[in-house]
Amino acid sequence: MAPMSITEVRDYMEKQVAYQSGGRGKESSVIITFPECSAFRDIPVEDLDKVLTYLTFIQRCERPPLPGP
């Protein structure tokens, strides 16, 4: 997968369609939040896919390595 640019999802990120809330799950994965949005159904599936791809990609890039045994 090629790295994405914020420019591809900027509009949706500014509208906070989904965002990283700062929390982490049990396996230290970043939690992605989808706030209530009345226009959510109007967002094309392809654009939601781009937002999720971007958020999970930056999570992998920013995540510190796990300590080794």
Q: Tell me how crowded residue 9 is: count the other CB atoms within 10 A of its CB.
A: 20
Q: 22 falls in which pLDDT band (50, 70, 90)? A: confident
pLDDT value, residue 3 = 54
Percentage of residues in the chain with pLDDT exceeding 90?
Answer: 0
Token pair of 42, please? Answer: 């109007």
Where would I find the beta strands (DSSP E) of 1-69?
A: 19-24, 30-33
Q: 0.85 cut: is pTM over it?
A: no
DSSP 15: T
Question: pLDDT by residue (tens digit) across 27-62?
Answer: 888 888 888 877 788 888 888 888 888 888 876 555
Q: Tell me how crowded residue 46 is: count the other CB atoms within 10 A of its CB.
A: 7
pLDDT value, residue 20 = 85
